[in-house]
């Protein structure tokens, strides 16, 4: 049933997809900077942990609402934020 709902995207869901694409794309420059400089200086682990918990909850909410925009946007954002969290933890260990 969930898959069938994905195929029936209405105009409101299209707005959600555009919003999901833009907010997810906004994260990419930060991920690229952290990876390319191998530095997470100035980034708060606590902030990113709270953020990623929120993203997981939005993902679950989107799943129950059968919202492809919430599922895709938050699914991708989860992995982007997770990359940053890994670098923050890795850099904290090397700075000890």
Q: Which fold has domain 2-94?
A: Monooxygenase (1.20.1280)
Segments making up each domain of the chain, as ranges: 2-94
23: CB partners within 8 A, 6+ apart:
73, 77
> Each residue of 8-17: pLDDT tens digit?
678 888 898 9
Class of residue 70 by CB neighbours under 10 A (exposed 0-12, middle 13-18, buried 19+): buried
What's the pLDDT tens digit per position in 16-27? 899 999 999 999
Q: Kindly indicate the confidence band of residue 35, based on its pLDDT and cuts at 50, 70 and 90.
A: very high
pTM, two decimals, is: 0.83
């Amino acid at each position: 049933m969930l898959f069938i709902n994905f195929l029936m995207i209405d105009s409101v869901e299209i707005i959600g997809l555009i919003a999901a694409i833009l907010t997810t794309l906004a994260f990419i420059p930060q991920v690229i900077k952290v990876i390319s400089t191998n530095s997470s200086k100035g980034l708060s682990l606590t902030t990113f942990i709270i953020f990623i918990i929120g993203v997981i909850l939005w993902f679950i909410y989107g799943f129950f609402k059968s919202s492809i925009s919430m599922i895709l946007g938050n699914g991708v954002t989860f992995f982007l934020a997770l990359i940053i969290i890994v670098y923050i933890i890795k850099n904290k260990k090397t700075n000890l």
